[in-house]
Structure 1
Amino acid sequence: MITVNPTSPVLLFDGVCSLCNGLVDFLMRHERRGLPPLTFAALQSESARTLLDERVGTERSRGLRAERAGGGHGDPGSVVLIVGDRVYERSTAALHVARYLRWPWQAARLGWALPRPLRDLLYEWVARHRYAWFGKKDACRIPTPEERARFLP
């Protein structure tokens, strides 16, 4: 069991995706004060597996983490945001994350005006091409000593 502050949102991201790691850096630089800080974990991590298994069940957890039947991982297709007992994915997770940003970045919340099927279609298109456009790392990110408190083990 992973102990997480119930008021602290947890963002699970593809740890080998350069775009996703850039998003984590951006969020840490532009986070809004006065809200609980975001905590991060790679979808490939044991922490992510445990959190998702607890909140959405093992089968759904495997799908979100793109776990292969024989072990190992495929390419996770979504970031996942956990806030308390709620689990958000795809464009809904991204739009909820915008709440934690300072102005003018909060303007991204205007995306709520689009219907979810359209938002998710756009999200999935970017997710499918993210490695080709932004690159893929050989291993998951290792937080710096300054960042370590913001990442689950």
Structure 2
Amino acid sequence: MPVARRSSDLVDPQSQAPDRRTGRGDLPLNALVSDLPQALQTRLANRDLIVFDGECVLCSGFFRFITRVDRAERFRFAHAQSDLGADLYNALGLPPDDFETNLILVNGVTYTHLDSFAAAMRAVGWPWRALSIVRFLPRPLKTFLYNRIARNRYALFGRYETCMIPEPGVMARFIDRDDEAT
């Protein structure tokens, strides 16, 4: 079931025309984690999270980059192909089998598309925080750039046959693995 949002945040998914009040044309628009179903909130346990396509070479490269620069180990991870990933995509009204956007949850807010990259860069601190400047690009330009890369990522960067499996130390930061243990 999609997350209930304020009417000012909704965009007609058929038209993908920007909402006149927010100027935004991508869904969902920074939904709050507190709006997710209670069972999903419990699984997230107020942790900052990056959900990424584990078969995508570009997305997995972003994941590896974050593991190197996130010295405070602020972020936890989940593959989009996991049960948790599918549950989040479903709850946010995104297709659970088409991972054209990473999901990033920071401080109780979900981010998608290029805003997810900006949120992650802000969260890991300097010098990487400077890359969050992309959040100031005009929404149509951000949407165009992100969609061009996302829709062609397998052709441009390649695809793994199965989800990438990280080393054991990093694997401990996967919360979708917590679900398997319970």
Q: Which category describes the TM-score, using the shorter chain as reference length?
A: 0.7 to 0.9
Q: What is the identity percentage for the equivalent residue pairs of Structure 1 and Structure 2?
A: 32
Give the secondary structure class of the aligned counterpart of 1:77. Answer: coil
Q: Report whether the alignment pairs 1:22 with 2:48.
A: no
Equivalent residue for 2:48? 9
TM-score (norm 1): 0.79
The whole-number CA distance in structure 2 between the counterparts of 1:32 and 1:117 is 33
User: Contact (CA 8 Å) 1:12, 1:42: kept in 2 or not?
Assistant: yes
- The correspondence for 1:107, drawn from 110, 113, 130, is 130
- State the shift of 1:85 in Å: 4.4
Shift in alpha-carbon separation, 1:31–1:119, aligned structure 2, 3 A: same
Aligned with residue 42 of structure 1, among 52, 58, 79: 79
* Structure 2 residue 167 is matched with structure 1 residue 144: yes
> In 1, are the aligned partners of 2:55 and 2:161 still within 8 Å (CA)?
yes
Q: Deviations over 1:107-145 (max 9, x none)?
A: 111112211221121011111221122110000122321
Q: Distance in 2 between matches of 1:117 and 1:32?
A: 33
How far residue 103 of structure 1 moved from its aligned partner, in angstroms, is 2.3
1:130 matched to 2:153: yes
Q: RMSD of aligned C-alpha atoms? A: 1.9
Equivalent pair of 1:43/1:76 in contact (CA under 8 Å): yes
Asked if structure 2 preserves the Cα contact closer than 8 Å seen for 1:32 and 1:102, the reply is no
Counterparts of 1:84 and 1:110, CA distance in 2: 19
Q: TM-score, normalised by structure 2?
A: 0.67
Structure 1: which 5+ runs fail to align? 68-74
Aligned to 1:71: none
Structure 2 unmatched runs, 5+: 1-38, 178-182
Alpha carbons 2:48, 2:107 under 8 Å: kept: yes
Aligned partner of 1:118 in structure 2 is 141
User: Are the counterparts in 2 of residues 143 and 151 from structure 1 also a CA contact under 8 Å?
Assistant: no
What SS does the corresponding residue of 1:138 show, helix, strand or coil?
Answer: coil
Moved over 4 A (4+): none
- Distance change >3 Å, CA 82–CA 52, structure 1 → 2: farther
User: Contact 1:9 / 1:81 at 8 angstroms: preserved in 2?
Assistant: yes
Q: Indicate the structure whose relative CO is greater, using CA pairs within 8 Å and at least 6 residues apart.
A: 1
CA distance in 1, matches of 2:135, 2:55: 28
Describe the SS at the equivalent of 1:78: coil
Equivalent residue letter for 1:104: P
Residue in structure 1 matched with residue 109 of structure 2 by the alignment: 86
Q: Which has the larger radius of gyration?
A: 2
